[in-house]
Amino acid sequence: MTIFDKPSLSISEHLDQWQARGLSVPDRSRAERYLSVISYYRLSSYTLPFQNGNPDHKFKSGIDFENVLRLYVFDRRLRLLILDAIERIEVALRTRMTNVLATHHGPHAYLDPGIFDTRYEHGWLLEQVRRKCDNSQAETFIKHYRDKYTEPDLPPIWMVMEILTFKEVSVLFSFLRTKEDKQAIARFWDLPDTVLHSWFRALSDLRNVCAHQSRTWNREFGSRPIVPRKPPARWPDLALPLADPKINSTRRLYYLLVVVETLLRKINPGSSWHTRLYGLLEEFPEVSRAHMGMPNEWTEDPFWQFA
């Protein structure tokens, strides 16, 4: 084990360090202003693609601060675009869960442990719902229910689905006991429920990465969505080679973008999300598609259907 002995540096000293490593900083005051609101540590992860590698962190020839900043701005805008799509997917899942479970099992369906797999911690679910309802900052509709009704103490499922997190809802879906419930929810997307389990789990993890403003564009993801054995009618060629053959495309962002686009089409067949994605990438042509797991000729794939 090594003792941490790095000194704390000022913004100016951090810039001096980058310059000593070969980064050009044409406008020093502009760079200092950005580091005062972004932080050196956060921005430093975006310098790595422009460096020759450890241990010296020397920058490649011709790289300046604007190259690093543009990559950061691209990643930020990509996260916002992804969050916009996942919000619509999340709302649709909550709606399907509410409609199916309320219709099949009544307004307080979730109170019945019998609708869940025996491996699901039903007591944990009730504890989470109760904690959220008892919170002094609880939603107005929760307070209204508890002011007006005494039994059951907890609110109906259409309220509960609004206070659980996306991950909690996706886990609840995966542990439903009967195929009838699962398939009724999955039928909206014309996909097997087992595929949707993995897709929603992966998207809830992606959402958390984006919501916490973490680097997204070239990340390796732990949650890998299942590739359907029988793909939808419109499906991309996931076997196209990448510019860098050392990159494992199955762990990168591109397939998650495919999942997002596939689910969005069922929610809104006229969605323009894919064209906004295209426009963002066109605006930043210098960003490596391979590090996103994206084939260089991805726009030629009929799956995306760009006009």
pLDDT digits (tens, 9 = 90+) for 170-182: 999 999 999 999 9
pLDDT digits (tens, 9 = 90+) for 105-164: 999 999 999 999 999 999 999 999 999 999 878 899 999 999 999 899 999 999 999 999
Percent of the chain beyond pLDDT 90? 84
pTM here is 0.93
Residues 306, 70: Cα–Cα separation, whole Å: 25
14, 62, 83, 145, 227 from 255: Cα distances, Å: 36, 33, 16, 42, 9
Q: Let me know if 5 is exposed, middle or buried by CB neighbors in 10 A (0-12, 13-18, 19+).
A: exposed
Query: Would you state the pLDDT for residue 269?
Result: 92
- Spans in the chain with pLDDT lower than 70: 307
∠ CA 222-225-228 to the nearest 5 degrees?
155
Structural domain boundaries of the chain? Answer: 72-300
Residues 180, 21: Cα–Cα separation, whole Å: 61
Query: Would you state the pLDDT for residue 48?
Result: 94
